[in-house]
Amino acid sequence: MTATAPSLTALAQGWCALSLLHGKIESHLERALQAGHGLSVREYSLLDVLSRQHDGEGGHLQMRQVADAVVLSQSATTRLVTRLEDRGLLMRYLCPTDRRGIYTNVSDAGLKLLAEARPTNEAALREALREAAEDRRLEPLVRTVETARTPPLIAAEVNPVDGKPGPAVVSSNW
């Protein structure tokens, strides 16, 4: 296959369109969340992912899983957690059954801010998709996003090592 093969060109064009759509949506969300709530998209995503944890068995995410969910490296995720903890939006504590493990939960202030920011995020997402749909290059992708039914961010999974239930990150937020 040559670099100018039609299938390669179509694939590259599709990737460029997807990248363009992602960039447009993310920048729209960033402006809305910063203006309305002082949150970046990554901060909002982290609060959202962590708010979905539960106290049952396997209900807490490891930092690696959190990093996957917010599409950051573990070190960048740790820095982000520290920033939000310094703002009083998150709190960390030792795992009661494994003193090496550290859990991160959303504080009451973080839950309040997240509840206030969710409608802003939803409205900004809808507006960004509406605007993007006006671009004929992006319209098919927008329709796909609008009709896609994806699994939740955190789903129960059986750990292949010990056979116990544990959370698995299956998709990420913008």
Sequence-distant (≥ 6) Cβ neighbours of residue 125 within 8 angstroms: 25, 28, 29, 174
Of the candidates 92, 95, 80, 86, the residue with the CA atom closest to the CA atom of residue 41:
80
d(CA 124, CA 90): 24
**Could you tell me if residue 26 is inside a domain?**
yes
**Could you tell me if residue 174 is inside a domain?**
no
d(CA 89, CA 43): 10
- For residue 11, the surrounding DSSP H or E stretch is helix 6-37
What is the number of domains present in the chain? 1
**Could you tell me if residue 1 is inside a domain?**
no
Q: What is the pLDDT of residue 173?
A: 47
**Could you tell me if residue 115 is inside a domain?**
yes
CATH of the domain at 86: 1.10.10.10
List the structure tokens of 122: 């939803």
**Could you tell me if residue 3 is inside a domain?**
no
- Does this model's pTM top 0.85? My answer is no
**Could you tell me if residue 2 is inside a domain?**
no
Q: What is the extent of the structural domain holding 90?
A: 8-169
- CA separation (Å) from 114 to 15, 101, 107, 111, 132? 32, 25, 10, 5, 26
pLDDT tens for residues 98-118? 777 788 899 999 999 999 999
Q: Name the percent of the chain lying above pLDDT 90.
A: 56
**Could you tell me if residue 128 is inside a domain?**
yes
pLDDT tens for residues 113-164? 999 999 999 999 999 999 999 999 999 999 999 998 877 655 444 444 444 4
